[in-house]
Amino acid sequence: MGLGSRRRALASRGAGSSRHRLVLQLDRAGRARAPHRRRRGRGPVQSLPTGHPVHAPPARVIGQRRPVRLPAPWGDPVRIGRGGDHCRSSPDSAACSLRTARARRRIRPQGLDESAVAVTQGGAAIERLASREFDLLVIGGGIVGAGIAATAARAGLAVALVDKGDFGAGTSTASSKLIHGGLRYLRLGDVRLVREALHERRLLTRVVAPHLIRRLPFLFPLYRNGPYGPATIQAGLVLYGAFARSRLHRLASPERARERVPGLRLDGLRSCGVYADATTHDGRLCLANLRAAEEAGSVVLNYAEVRELRTVNRRVAGAVVYADGDAVEVAARSVVNATGPWVDVVRRLEDPAALPTIRLSKGSHVLLRLDEPWSAALTVPHDKVRVSFAVPWEDMLLLGTTDSLYEGEPAAVEATEAEVAQILDEASVAVEPALLNIDAIRSTYAGLRVLPSGDGATASARRETVFHRGAGGMLSVAGGKLTTYRRIALDALSMLRAELGLHRLDRRAFPLPGAVDPGEAAQRLARRWPELEVRVYEHLAHHYGSLAEDVLAPAEQEPELLRPLHPDGPDVAAQAVYARDFEWARRPEDVLRRRTTLALRGLAGEDVVRRVDELFETRAGEAPRAAGVPSSPAP
């Protein structure tokens, strides 16, 4: 078979092939089990055995979702579903909107006044948590927990999700903001991870959240005396492009590369490998999944800590949740522990003698002012294992990341001066030193990767997802990549099928709330609010999609809500109001750090904090508005 035939065979197999799919599973003592091999046509990954039998109710058959097509900003739309007619009208047509809503199991009647609908948060959510038994309780509101809740709710399950802090406040909003396959993992031999991640990247870009995903060329600079030569990189790019079903995999001259990246250092540069990946706003991706879960009937509540697990006949059957000074017992048939760096802490509520299943790797980042725009990112190799990134993100330059073992308290993680210096020094390999002035730093942050427990350098550790079933039946899920969160959620629910009575689980992608071509959303905003600056309506379109008009709707009665919260940023006052009413924001920090870009831009000063406080207080007596969710409990 020739090279062309092999490439066509790889492309036809696709990134989503489930063949040879390995899942790392641990026993009670934290030792790795022999991985279960998932074979095509033989069902999902099997649930791990627990210490006690499970008496499952009759199997629940989930109805199939109607086919949907959403316009994709790059390439052709992805067809979801089989048979039937598809939405071929424009994204803002009534027919397409209605069909998309039906596909999400929610039809929004024309003229629905969302301001009159009570939000399922705070006291109302606490009452709903205590009023019924749920099929599934998810502990942890990061991207993995949010993805599990959204997928389970869409499958017709009664779901509750709680988080001891704000949603996504840990690892999920401290990532490198990349939706990518991970080119370096090919060198480490993790072909399955790359293929799976590229498949998920394609679905996120075209179907799940096209407004939140920005495709971007990446340059891999090859310097004299560097760790890689052109032939090695060319071969890797061909394989990466085959998995991605992309033709963007080639070598570019230094002059052509400099046109894309004005700050690229040319000294000793031989050529640059070119490939495609994408960026996102990780916090907003997490919120979109939580909103999808709530729209499907889930109860979600932040600042609600689990301190005890509820047990019935030695089986974990819920938890005791402490929120707003109250202790609420939440009953659930199954419990998922998706608390990221705290996963072993919650496991010890089930088994005080539980051994660690994970270790933590710290990744620090630096955001710099970027005076001249870049139209591509850099992947900078430092040795045969490590790379760092220089990525244009939100009109800034994002640098990172470090990769070192972390053994401290997860809540105390932050970027140190030494790590900032390391990041700037490593970036100088490929970025002109003039751009790396310490005075240009807008902000720094650090997050924690969750890795399987073991020895060796964290940089070379496999990015496996850890699944662990405790003696009481609680499923703990940790690790993986931001890009593959949807696949992790599906695998977790597959392990709980017997307990939850799921006869089948629809693994197809579905659009999150707001999913639309951001260009279309920006045009609608420009027509409706012509007084807005271009940077503002483009920013809103990329962060909220089709929901951006809902964000600005109160400004029709209060035009001052169109004013930026800071003159140097694109985030407007209406976003703070929307965050409070629809996105569970309870403190200014929730708005500034995770629902807007102000903190990362270094613009969250005292004046801005005071302005958000005022916006919260002026509406303290108003009934907060819901995200299109009926106030009555889900059936």
Distance of alpha carbon 118 from alpha carbon 625, whole angstroms: 6
Closest alpha carbon to 398 in 370, 430, 434: 370
Distance of alpha carbon 595 from alpha carbon 591, whole angstroms: 5
Pairing of strands 213-223, 377-381: parallel
Does the pLDDT value for residue 17 go beyond 70?
no
34, burial (CB in 10 Å: exposed 0-12, middle 13-18, buried 19+): exposed
Q: pLDDT at position 188, please?
A: 81
Does the pLDDT value for residue 483 go beyond 50?
yes
- Mean pLDDT is lowest, of 108-122, 251-265, 345-359, for 108-122
- In the predicted model, what is the mean pLDDT of residues 253-280? 97
Percentage of the chain modeled with pLDDT above 70: 78
Does the pLDDT value for residue 32 go beyond 50?
no
Amino acid identity for residue 387 in this structure: V
Q: pLDDT at position 406, please?
A: 96
C-alpha 81 chain-centroid distance: 24
Closest alpha carbon to 435 in 381, 371, 355: 371
458 cis-preceded (ω within 30 degrees of 0): no
- Mean pLDDT is lowest, of 81-85, 247-251, 347-351, 562-566, for 81-85
247 band by pLDDT with thresholds 50, 70 and 90: confident
- The mean pLDDT value of the chain amounts to 83
Residue 492 half-sphere exposure toward CB, CA atoms < 13 A:
35
Render the burial of 523-558: b for 16+ CB within 10 Å, e for the rest: ebbeeebeebeeebbbbbbbbbbbbbbbbbbbbeee
- In the predicted model, what is the mean pLDDT of residues 260-266? 97
- Mean pLDDT is lowest, of 13-17, 338-342, 451-455, for 13-17
Distance of alpha carbon 80 from alpha carbon 230, whole angstroms: 39
Q: pLDDT at position 217, please?
A: 97
What interhelical angle do 230-244 and 3-13 show, nearest 10?
40
Pairing of strands 315-323, 326-337: antiparallel
Q: pLDDT at position 619, please?
A: 60
Distance of alpha carbon 368 from alpha carbon 96, whole angstroms: 41
What interhelical angle do 485-495 and 143-154 show, nearest 10?
60
Which residues, other chains included, contact 142 with Cβ-Cβ below 8 Å and sequence gap of 6+?
Answer: 163, 167, 168, 170, 171, 172, 286, 338, 339, 340
348 band by pLDDT with thresholds 50, 70 and 90: very high
Does the pLDDT value for residue 61 go beyond 60?
no
Closest alpha carbon to 450 in 420, 476, 416, 417: 476
Distance of alpha carbon 549 from alpha carbon 521, whole angstroms: 8
Does the pLDDT value for residue 292 go beyond 90?
yes
Q: What is the 3-state secondary structure (H, E, C) of 525-579?
A: HHHHCCCCCHHHHHHHHHHHHHHHHHHHHHHHCCHHHHCECCCCCCCEHHHHHHH
How does DSSP classify residue 251?
Answer: E
What are the pLDDT digits (tens) for 386-445? 999 999 999 999 999 999 999 999 999 999 999 999 999 999 999 999 999 999 999 999
- Vertex 186 angle, CA 185 and 192, to 5°: 80
The CATH topology of domain 22-78+89-110+120-165+298-354+463-500 is FAD/NAD(P)-binding domain (3.50.50)
Q: How many CB atoms lie within 10 A of CB 493?
A: 24
Pairing of strands 178-179, 36-38: unpaired
**Cα end-to-end distance, the chain, whole Å:** 57
Q: Are 293 and 159 in contact (CB under 8 A)?
A: yes
Q: pLDDT at position 88, please?
A: 32
- In the predicted model, what is the mean pLDDT of residues 329-346? 98
Pair of tokens at residue 36: 């279960």
Which residues, other chains included, contact 416 with Cβ-Cβ below 8 Å and sequence gap of 6+?
Answer: 364
Q: pLDDT at position 119, please?
A: 40
Q: pLDDT at position 108, please?
A: 34
Q: pLDDT at position 72, please?
A: 31
Q: pLDDT at position 428, please?
A: 97
Percentage of the chain modeled with pLDDT above 90: 72
Distance of alpha carbon 551 from alpha carbon 540, whole angstroms: 9
- In the predicted model, what is the mean pLDDT of residues 36-61? 37
Does the pLDDT value for residue 593 go beyond 50?
yes
The answer to whether 22-78+89-110+120-165+298-354+463-500 and 178-280+358-452 have equal CATH topology is: no
> Phi then psi for 60, rounded to 5 degrees?
-100, 125
Does the pLDDT value for residue 101 go beyond 80?
no
Q: Are 300 and 149 in contact (CB under 8 A)?
A: yes
> Domain boundaries in the chain?
22-78+89-110+120-165+298-354+463-500, 178-280+358-452, 518-618
C-alpha 476 chain-centroid distance: 18
> Phi then psi for 628, rounded to 5 degrees?
70, 30
Which residues, other chains included, contact 190 with Cβ-Cβ below 8 Å and sequence gap of 6+?
Answer: 182, 462, 463
229, burial (CB in 10 Å: exposed 0-12, middle 13-18, buried 19+): exposed
How does DSSP classify residue 61?
Answer: P
Q: pLDDT at position 121, please?
A: 52
Does the pLDDT value for residue 634 go beyond 60?
no
Architecture (CATH level 2) of domain 178-280+358-452:
2-Layer Sandwich (3.30)
Does the pLDDT value for residue 473 go beyond 90?
yes
185 band by pLDDT with thresholds 50, 70 and 90: confident
Does the pLDDT value for residue 331 go beyond 90?
yes
Does the pLDDT value for residue 380 go beyond 50?
yes
DSSP 169-205: TTGGGSS--EE---THHHHTT-HHHHHHHHHHHHHII
Does the pLDDT value for residue 89 go beyond 80?
no
- Mean pLDDT is lowest, of 54-68, 126-140, 193-207, 539-553, for 54-68
Please name the residue that has the structure tokens 């209605």: 98
What are the pLDDT digits (tens) for 143-171? 999 999 999 999 999 999 999 999 999 99
Which residues, other chains included, contact 211 with Cβ-Cβ below 8 Å and sequence gap of 6+?
Answer: 514, 515, 516, 517, 518, 521, 541, 542, 543, 544, 545, 546
